Amino acid sequence: MKKPLENCTFVIIGATGNLARTKLMPALYHLYVDDLLPKDIHILGIARSIADRKEWLAELKTDLKERARGGLDESIFEGFCRRLDCLRSGLKTKEDYRLLSDYIGQQKFSNNIAFYFSLPPSMYASIATSLSEVNLLTEDQGWRRVVVEKPFGSDLETARNLQRHFERYLKESQIYRIDHYLGKETVQNVQVFRFANLLLEPLWNRNYIDHVQISHAETIGIGSRSAYYDGIGALRDMIQSHLLQLLSLVAMEPPVSMQAEDLRDEKVKLLRSISPIAKGAVSSHAFRAQYAAGDVKGNAIKSYLQEDNIPQDSVCETYAALKLYINNWRWRGVPFYLRTGKRMKEKHSMIAICFRQTPKQFFRTSQVEQFKPNWLLIGIQPDESLRIELTVKKPGLDMKTKVISLDASFNDEEGRDGYEGLLLDVMEGDHSLFLRADEVEASWKIIDPVLHSWSSQQDYIQTYPAASWGPDEALRLFEKEGQYWRSSLEPE
C-alpha cells in the first residue's frame, strides 16, 4: 500500500502550450477523477497569453471535452476547477518573479512545490536561475522539485552546460528529467517480462539473439512544429531520448533492486558500454533521409521542404537509423538497430528481437523449407502487445510448417496515458522513471559523432516518398543479406 501523497502545489510554466493542453492538464484531470491527487493540491498555470481565469478554464473545458476518458463529467470538472489557479506572466523580469513568489506565498498554497518547465528548452536555464533568486528552489519549508521536458540540451556540450547550470541551483534529487516513453505501460512491462520470467534469461544474450530492432514510426509530418523541428531532426528528437531508453531497458543487466538509483545505475552502465561510433565509420552505422511528396489513397502529401517555414536547402532528417554494438559479455557482436521516421506508412513503435537460426535443418528430405528464425515482438503503440513467433507443423499429412504467434498481449484496460503515472511519481518523489544526469550525458555521447558528421554534410540528403517505410538504402546498415526492418507484429 502506498502512503498518501503529501499536499503540494503543482506549477505548470507554459500552461497554454501544446504539451500542457494535450497531456498535462488531461493527466491531472484523470488523476483527480480517480481521487489520486493530494487532497488539497493547487495547480497553478502560468503563461503570457492567459487572459483571465474564466477564459483559461473555458479553454480547459473545451480541451477536456475532447480528451477526458469516458467524457467530461460537469460536476467533477467543477471540483477540479477549485484546485486550479492561473497567473499571466512573461516570467522575464525580477518583478515577475517577485510577484510569482508572493502569489505562491499565499496561505492556501502548500510549501511543497513542483515546477513543471513546459516551455521552449532555451528557457530552462534562465527560469531555474530566476526561481532560485526569489528563493523558490530552496527546500527550507517544504520540498521543491523541477520537472524538465526533453530535450535536455541539443548535443553533448549543451547538455553538459545546462547540467552545470542546474547544479548551481538544484540538487540532483530535485530534478526530474522526463521521458514520457518510460511512463508507457508496455515499456515498464519490458522490465517485468525480462526479470519476472526465468524462461527468457538463458536466451537473452549473444549466444541466442541474432539482432534487435527498435523502431518508432509516425504517419504524421512535422505539422506546425517547423520552428522546433528543423533545428532538431529525428536523431535528436527520438533516438537520443526514447529509443536509447528502450535499448537500455532491453539490454541492461538485472538491477540490484527496482529502486530508482539501482535501476538508473544499470541503465547508465549499459549506455556506457555502447561502442562509440568512430568518425570514419558514421556512414556504416547511421543513415538519414527526409520525406519527399507522396500520396495516401489519392490524397497528395507535401514534402518536408514544402512544409511551412522550412528553408529550401534544409537537410534536416525526418528519418534516422542507427546500428549500435554493446561491448559487454552479454551482447558483444549483436547489432542493435534503431529506426525512426515521420510520414511513414503506418504508425507503430515496437521492439523486435530476432533469434538465431536453429543449428541444423532436420527435415531436409521433406517439404519443409528453411526455418524462419524465432522473433519476440513487443508492441508499444498503437498495439500494446507481446508476441513470440514459433514454427509449427501445419496440420495435415504432409510435413509442412507455418509460423504462429503466441500472443501474450495485455490490454491496458484503464487506458491511462504515461504522463499520469509520471506526474504522480513527481509528487511522490520517485525518480525511477526519470533520467539521471549521467544517463542523459551517456546518451548524447553515443549520438554526438553522428550529429557532428551530419552537420558537416549540408549539401545533400536522401529522400523517401511520404507514406512509405523509408528508403531501401537504409537496409545497408544490416549485417546480413536478407535481413529487413520488421514493421509488423503479424507473422511475415
Ligand X SMILES: NC(=O)c1ccc[n+]([C@@H]2O[C@H](COP(=O)([O-])OP(=O)(O)OC[C@H]3O[C@@H](n4cnc5c(N)ncnc54)[C@H](OP(=O)(O)O)[C@@H]3O)[C@@H](O)[C@H]2O)c1
Binding site for ligand X (CB under 6 A): 14-20, 47-49, 90-92, 118-121, 149-150
- Compute the least distance from the CB of residue 469 to ligand X, in Å: 24
The amino acid sitting at 115 is F
Between 12 and 451, name the residue whose CB sits nearer to ligand X. Answer: 12
- Compute the least distance from the CB of residue 93 to ligand X, in Å: 11
- Compute the least distance from the CB of residue 112 to ligand X, in Å: 23
Of residues 180, 242, 285, 348, which has the active-site annotation?
Answer: 242
- Compute the least distance from the CB of residue 216 to ligand X, in Å: 13
Strand pairing of 335-341 and 175-178?
unpaired
Between 149 and 210, name the residue whose CB sits nearer to ligand X. Answer: 149
Give me the residue label for grid cell 513470440.
388
Query: Is residue 242 flagged as an active site residue?
Result: yes
The amino acid sitting at 219 is T
Residues 426/418, Cβ–Cβ less than 8 Å? no
The amino acid sitting at 42 is H
Classify residue 428 as exposed, middle or buried by CB count within 10 Å of its CB (0-12, 13-18, 19+).
middle
Q: How many CB atoms are located within 10 Å of the residue 247 CB?
A: 26
Torsion sign over Cα 35, 37, 39, 45: negative
Looking at beta carbons, which residue is closest to ligand X? 17
Between 47 and 377, name the residue whose CB sits nearer to ligand X. Answer: 47
User: Count of H helices and E strands in the chain?
Assistant: 15, 18
Between 118 and 349, name the residue whose CB sits nearer to ligand X. Answer: 118
Rounded distance between C-alpha atoms, residue 192 and residue 259, angstroms: 14
Torsion sign over Cα 274, 275, 279, 285: negative
- Compute the least distance from the CB of residue 103 to ligand X, in Å: 14
- Identify the DSSP state of 367: S
In a 13 Å sphere around the CA of 297, the CA atoms on its Cβ side amount to 0
Torsion sign over Cα 264, 267, 269, 271: negative
Between 24 and 451, name the residue whose CB sits nearer to ligand X. Answer: 24
b vs e for 469-486, b when ≥16 Cβ sit within 10 Å of the residue's Cβ? bbbeebeebbeeeebebb
- Compute the least distance from the CB of residue 24 to ligand X, in Å: 9
Between 48 and 98, name the residue whose CB sits nearer to ligand X. Answer: 48
* Catalytic (active-site) positions: 242
